[in-house]
A = this chain, B = another copy of it.
Amino acid sequence: MKRIEIRTTERDEFVDITPLVREEVRRAGAEDGLCLVYCPHTTAGLTINEHADPAVAADILAALDRLIPGDGPWTHLEGNSPAHVKASLLGASVQIPIVDGDLALGTWQGVFLCEFDGPRTRTVWLRFLA
């Protein structure tokens, strides 16, 4: 299984991993099928959204912060419950078609690692199915 390592620098941050995922798909020589991008963390997630204008990612992060304010109340004692909630709202994986050996994304789409409890070193797993 392929692994991608990502160093995040903020508490909440979207990191565009599209070029890294695309490179692994090409390197794997997968012709047609599906790419599973999997996040093995519980305070980070994955999403697909516009990556042309970085303001879109910033707006999604700000909206999530308004939805899940830090003051809770929370029972989990580590203080990062909002990060767990955001991770479940966005999800732990994305699935993308592979066509002719390349990721088949829409024109404006990119793949983001969604950090909600950084900064940390995160890993993303890749799985190709024909």
Contact = CB atoms under 8 A, between A and B. Distances in A.
B91 A63 contact: no
A72 B87 CA distance: 21
Interface string A31-49: 0111010111110000111
Given A85-B59, A129-B33, A1 B75 contact: no
Secondary structure class of chain A's binding surface, majority of residues: mixed
Contact of A87 (B49, B67, B88): B49
B88 A49 contact: yes
Q: What are the 9 closest A-B residue pairs judged by CB atoms, nearest first? A: A40-B106, A55-B76, A42-B50, A59-B81, A48-B92, A55-B75, A63-B85, A47-B88, A97-B127
